[in-house]
A and B are shown apart, each in its own frame.
Chain A
Amino acid sequence: MNGRLTLFTFASPPRFYWLTGKLIPWLWAACIALTVAGLYVGFFVAPTDATQGEAYRVIYMHVPAAWMSMLLYLVMAFWAAIGWAFNARLASMVARAIAPTGAMFTFLALWTGAFWGKPTWGTWWVWDARLTSELILLFLYLGYMALVNAIDDTRRADQAGALLAVVGAVNVPIIYFSVKWWNTLHQGATISMTAAPKMAETMLTGMLLMTFACWAYAFAVVFMRTRAIIVEREQHTEWVSEMVRKQGAGA
């Protein structure tokens, strides 16, 4: 790695590939350590909820998954837009790599929500504003993935995907504020920046540990997929053929 480090150093696919290759093992280690700590606090330290009993323990995956589903969509739309506006190839690749992970977290938010709603609300599903807008988020992810895979010209696919991702971003504030704007069965925000937390401190600790675990997971798996996409797209370039010649197909 010669030359000066700048903001754009890692915008080049070979450098990004090299850097993320170094980071991924550390991200997995952080993810596993945080998950163990978060589940330990969540299941063995945090007390039973006074009204919901043990059913509330779904929160340690439900809230992080729901946060990640919204955050990853905004990050995906951001990089898709950057890739479109500045013709930055790597940004478009990152956007594509985020979509399956975002869709998975959206699905898990809905799934764990259903498994929480059944014992507490008496129903797996209700067409309430929060649940419906989160379901729309899942369709936006799936629509983005279907669209970019349906167009053969890679850069045109990136651009079409970016348009869909950016327009769909309007749904994220709708999800977030749905519990305020409409009268929903879903409860209000779990924690807010302006009010003191309404939950026991150990519950909050467990939830935050699981949230950081999900962050580490998302970085690790998105980097893994971005590396795969880089090799797929750049297989005709000198640096990829040199790398596979030197290291073999493995590694």
Chain B
Amino acid sequence: MNWGSASAFFEMGGYGLYVWGSYIACAVLMVLEPILAARRHARARRDAARLTEEES
């Protein structure tokens, strides 16, 4: 175990800003991207459903 306490973990030996600044950016983008892809898929399916209704 590397960290004596939670605050030591967040401090990262004085490099907290750099380590967490990296990981937070990764987390934000890697959560956002699948959400955007799912929304695009849902929109495409809605458009297709509307088109099917108009045709029938």
Chain A residues positioned under 8 Å from B17 (CB to CB) = 115
* Chain A residue at minimal CB-CB distance from B32: A104
B47 touches A57 (CB 8 A): no
A54-B19, A118-B18, A235-B51 known; A228-B25 Cβ under 8 A:
no
Chain B residues positioned under 8 Å from A57 (CB to CB) = 12, 15, 19
* Chain A residue at minimal CB-CB distance from B21: A115
B37 touches A54 (CB 8 A): no
A48 to B51, CA, bound (A): 59
B41 touches A48 (CB 8 A): no
Residues 5-52 of B at the A interface (beta carbon under 8 Å): 9, 12-15, 17-19, 21-23, 25-26, 29-30, 33-34, 37-38, 40-49, 51-52
A241 touches B26 (CB 8 A): no
Chain B residues positioned under 8 Å from A224 (CB to CB) = 34, 37-38, 41
A53-B15, A241-B51 known; A58-B33 Cβ under 8 A:
no
Cβ-neighbour of B41 out of A43, A44, A228 (below 8 A): A228
Chain B residues positioned under 8 Å from A251 (CB to CB) = 45
B2 touches A44 (CB 8 A): yes
Chain B residues positioned under 8 Å from A119 (CB to CB) = 15, 18
A48 to B14, CA, bound (A): 13
Output the least CB separation between B25 and chain A (Å): 5
B51 touches A228 (CB 8 A): no
Chain B residues positioned under 8 Å from A54 (CB to CB) = 12-15, 19
Chain B residues positioned under 8 Å from A4 (CB to CB) = none
Output the least CB separation between A221 and chain B (Å): 5
B41 touches A227 (CB 8 A): yes
Output the least CB separation between A189 and chain B (Å): 20
